[in-house]
Amino acid sequence: MHTVVVVWVHKNTFCSGDHVSWHSPLDNSESRIQHMLLTEDPQMQPVQTPFGVVTFLQIVGVCTEELHAAQQWNGQGILELLRTVPVAGGPWLITDMRRGETIFEIDPHLQERVDKGIETDGSNLSGVSAKCAWDDLSRPPEDDEDSRSICIGTQPRRLSGKDTEQIRETLRRGLEINSKPVLPPINSQRQNGLNHDRAPSRKDSLESESSAAIIPHELIRTRQLESVHLKFNQESGALIPLCLRGRLLHGRHFTYKSITGDTAITFVSTGVEGAFATEEHPYAAHGPWLQILLTEEFVERMLEDLEDLNSPEEFKLPKEYSWPEKKLKVSILPDAVFDNPLH
């Protein structure tokens, strides 16, 4: 019997169905159980306290293949499958660190259920913390007004508190399965001479508020870019097909938030409202937050060109993909480039 206490210091909230990529056996053994899914504790009921409701979450250990299935589809779906396999958790989702087979090896039919779920539902993973960066190739690096500020080797500008909260809201709202997903708008309402974030609404869009509510400096900070270069480490790059197939082809969005700085990259489809990237200007930046709008036709082409990302162990880094007519370049780089940006 093991009791595990895990503490993360950040401002994000864990929810049932979330996952944690750990990349190491949870008990420091040679176990294949190296990642975690989170679910509501089946025994500990929510408790009302003077500070609000406290909900207890249970950590469920999973193999790498099960983690990838949760990312490609959704965590709740994989948790339900784990409940059907006694040795993989059973109804109480008890983790056995000695488990040597994935649920897909134990019951191959479960992979068919996951594949069908991905095709029907897409992925509800709306974003990840990642090692990523982007360059604005539209302007020379020495341009003093260049707000890209995320080029590897340069000192990034910091996101404002409002920008950071909007990115968090992007990730939260991505879990909602809507016919028309909505990104939180860049604009804010002016109250008592101060800028205050508006409560997001499903009807929000950049255009609907442009006549009165956008603060002038906000308009200046949002720039349309002609050409961009995206940079990811291998683990983050391996999620690009998920982003394209599981999110954008289902009319949703996907965000990479840098773990080493304030950089954020959000891919959006044409069905997402509230984005500042448009079909006319598909690359747009708000400080260090880049949005890229991809049409369905281009997504399909990218999926073909990025096919080898599904088997990242088969190619050597660095790896570069380029679409000159779209003025878009993607590089998959070693971790060291992001860990030591000045080298």
DSSP annotation of 280 reads S
Is the model's pLDDT at 239 over the cut of 60? yes
pLDDT in tens, 4-30: 445 454 556 788 888 888 989 999 999
Q: Pick from 246, 247, 266: which is nearest to 167 by CA?
A: 266
pLDDT for res 172: 55
Is the CB of residue 282 less than 8 Å from the CB of residue 293?
yes
Beta strands in the chain (DSSP E): 19-20, 35-40, 47-49, 52-54, 57-62, 127-130, 132-136, 189-191, 194-196, 222-224, 228-233, 253-258, 264-268, 283-286, 289-293, 319-323, 328-333
For 160-185, how does the pLDDT look when each residue is reduced to its tens digit (9 = 90+)?
566 666 666 665 554 343 345 666 54
Q: With pLDDT > 70 as the criterion, what percentage of the chain qualifies?
A: 71
Q: If you average pLDDT over residues 103-127, what whole number do you get?
A: 94
Residue found under tokens 């207890």 = 56
pLDDT greater than 50 at residue 155: no
pLDDT digit string, tens, across residues 270-299: 988 889 999 999 999 988 999 999 999 999
**Structural Rg of the chain based on CA atoms:** 21
Residue 5 has a pLDDT of 45
What mean pLDDT do residues 295-304 have? 97
181 close to 251: Cβ distance less than 8 angstroms: yes
Amino acid identity of 322?
S
pTM for the whole structure: 0.73
- Give the model's confidence band at 138: pLDDT under 50 very low, under 70 low, under 90 confident, else very high: confident
> Which domains are seen in the chain, by residue range?
1-121 (no CATH), 127-140+164-172+221-337 (3.30.1360.230)
Q: If you ran DSSP here, which 8-state letter would residue 260 be given? A: S
If you write DSSP's letter for every residue of 131-163 in order, what string do you get?
Answer: -EEEEETTS-TT-TT-----STTS-PPPPPHHH
Helix (H, G, I), strand (E, B) or coil at 135: strand
- For residues 275 and 283, the answer to whether their CB atoms sit within 8 Å is no
Strand partners, 38: 59
At 216, the pLDDT band (50, 70, 90 cuts) reads very low
